[in-house]
Amino acid sequence: MIRSFVIILLVAVLGLDVYSQSLKVQELDLGGKGSNDMSPILKDSILYFSSDRKSSWLINYYDQNKRNLYRIYQVPLIEDGSFGKVTAYDLEELSPYSTPCIMFSRDGEDIFITKTPYNTYRQSRAKFRFGSTFGIYSAPLKKTGFGRLSDLNVNKKKSNVGQPSITPDGNTLFFVADNKDGYGKSDIWVAEKINGKWDNVQNLGSAVNTEENEVTPFYHPSGKLLFASEGHGGKGGMDIYFTIKTEKGWSKPIPYDQKINTASNDFGCYLSDDESWGVFTSDRSGKNDKLFRFDVEFPEFQTCEEQTEDSYCFTLFENGPDQSTSKPIVYTWDFGDGEFANGANVDHCFAGPGAYHIKLDAVDTLTHEKLFTVAEYDVDLQRSEQVYISSKDTVKVGQPVVFDVSDSYLGNLKTQGFYWEFEDGSRQKGAVVNHVFKNVGKFSVNCGMVSEGFPEVKKCSSKEIIVIE
C-alpha cells in the first residue's frame, strides 16, 4: 500500500525567448498625410507625439533637405478609447526648430524636452547642414506653460543626447546618446538624480546595448524598460524589446509580440500603466513613420484554483508476508530508482515524476538470500496538470517582482497565451511578467491559460504573495 507522506517540490525558473500576446493592432488616423509621427507619450488623457507635418499654412521650418522640422502635437483620448482632434502643442517656450521628443515627470511638475540648442532658424539651418546635435532640457511645468529650460548635465557638445524617460519617483533618467565610449552607434544610458543634479551616468551595458542602434527607452511602473533595437537579431529593422533590472543586472531583452514587431521598423513604444494597451511607431504601412495602437485581449476565467505543490515522497508499508516461513527475515524494498531500504514501513522520496517498478522481497537475515517476493507493482508518478506560478513567496513593497509560469505542466494542451491579474486590477500577458506591489499585505496573484485551438478549455491558478515593507 502507498499513502501520501510529505509535500516537497523545488521548482526551476526557466528563461523566456518571446513575449507572446494576443493583440489587436491598428493604425491611428491622426491626419498629416505624408508626415512622420513618432515619440508617443500619454499624460492626463492627452497623447503627445512628435511630427514633421506642416504646422502652419503661412510659416513652416525646414532642414537642409527641405523637410519639415519636428514639432510636438497633442490629441485627447476620448472615454470610448478613441482619439479626438490633433492640435499643435504650441507653448511659447517650445522651440520651432525641431523638438522631436518630450517627456513628463510622473507627478506632472517637470517637463523634459529633446531639442537643438539653437535659438534662431538661421543657426538651426546652418548646424543641420553639418550634423546637428541634440540635448535634453528640463523645466518646471506651469498652468500656462513651463519655466526656464535647464541644460541637463548629461548632454555633451559633440554627441546627440535625447529621448528621455523618467522613473515614477523622478530619481532615475534613461536616455539615448551616441557617445564614442558606447557599445554601438547609439546606446541607452542611465543617470541618477543626486542633490538636484543628474549624476552617476552609466551605460546600461552589453546585455542591452549592441554594436547597432538602441533607442526610445520607456520606463514602465512595473519595472520593465521598453526600448527599440536593430542589434538583437529581431525580425528586421528596429524591433521593440523589454528588459528588467535584476540583482545581477539588466536581463536578456525579450522581444514583444509578432504583431508589434515586424520586418519593418518598429520603435518608440508607450505602454499604459495596466499594460492593457499602448501606442508605438512603425513604418509598416509605407515610407513614413506612423503611430499604431495595440490592445491586449483578455479572456475571462470563472474560477482560479489555489496552486498545489507536487509530492514525490511516500510512506510504503506491508502488514506481513504472504508466505509462512520459520526463518528470520527482513523486508527489502527496491524502489526502481536505484535506491533500497529495509523494513516493513519505510519512507522514500522519488527524484521526480516518472515510471517506477517497486518490489518488496523477504530476505533471510542470516544468509542474505531472497526467500520470496512479497509484492511488486508499477507506479507512474506525474505532475499535477496546472498553471504553475514561480515567484518569491515574500516580497517588498515598491520593488519589481518577476512571475514566471514557464514551468507549468499542461499535459497535452498547447496554450495560446497566459493571462495575469493582480491585486490592483492590472492585467498582463505572457509567460514571464513583472509587477510592483504598492501596499503591504497578503494578495492573490492569478494566472490563467487558454488552449490553442480550443478556447473553451481554460486553466487558472492562484498564488498568495506576502508583501512587506
CATH of 23-296, one of 2.40.10.10, 3.40.630.40, 3.30.420.130, 2.120.10.30: 2.120.10.30
Torsion sign (Cα): 361, 362, 364, 370:
negative
Q: What is the pLDDT of residue 323?
A: 57
Per-residue pLDDT, 191: 96
Residue type, 3: R
Report residues of the chain scoring pLDDT below 50: 1-20, 57-59, 62, 64, 126, 128-131
pTM for the predicted model, two decimal places: 0.69
- The size of the chain, in residues, is 469
pLDDT digit string (tens) for 421-467?
998 888 888 899 999 998 999 999 999 998 887 777 899 999 999 99
Query: CA 23, 27, 29, 35 torsion: positive or negative?
Result: positive
Shortest CA distance to 164 belongs to which of 221, 216, 206?
216
Q: How far apart are the first and last CA of the chain?
A: 48
- Taking the C-alpha atoms of residue 380 and residue 336, their distance in angstroms, rounded to an integer, is 11
3-class secondary-structure state, position 122? helix
**Which residues face 282 on adjacent strands?**
266, 290
* Cβ–Cβ under 8 Å, residues 255 and 232: yes
Matching residue, cell 533607442: 215
DSSP 189-242: EEEEEETTEEEEEEE--TTT--SSBEEEEEE-TTSEEEEEESSS--SSS-EEEE
For every residue of 135-182, DSSP letters joined together read EEEEEEEETTEE---EE-TT--TTS-EEEEEE-TTS-EEEEEE--TTS
Give the residue extent of every domain in the chain: 23-296, 311-381, 385-468
Nearest to 241 by CA among 257, 228, 232: 228
- Burial status of residue 425 (CB atoms within 10 A of its CB: 0-12, 13-18, 19 or more): exposed
* Whether the Cβ atoms of residue 316 and residue 2 lie closer than 8 Å to each other: yes
User: What is the DSSP pairing of strand 37-43 with strand 46-51?
Assistant: antiparallel
pLDDT digits (tens, 9 = 90+) for 157-204: 888 999 999 999 999 999 999 998 999 999 999 999 999 899 999 999
Q: Are 420 and 432 in contact (CB under 8 A)?
A: no
CA–CA distances in Å: residue 313 to residues 32, 284, 308, 338, 381: 67, 56, 15, 15, 11
Pair 40, 270: CB distance under 8 Å: yes
> Cell 501520501 appears where?
4
Name the one residue in this structure whose C-alpha cell is 525567448. 17
Calpha distance 86→406 (Å, rounded): 43
Give domain 311-381's CATH superfamily: Immunoglobulins (2.60.40.10)
341 in Cβ contact with 359 (< 8 Å):
no
d(CA 393, CA 307): 12
Per-residue confidence (pLDDT) for residue 3, from 0 to 100:
28
- State which fold the 385-468 domain adopts: Immunoglobulin-like (2.60.40)
Whether 23-296 and 385-468 share one fold: the answer is: no
pLDDT given for residue 73 in this prediction: 93
Do 387 and 405 touch, CB atoms closer than 8 A?
A: yes
3-state secondary structure of 121: helix
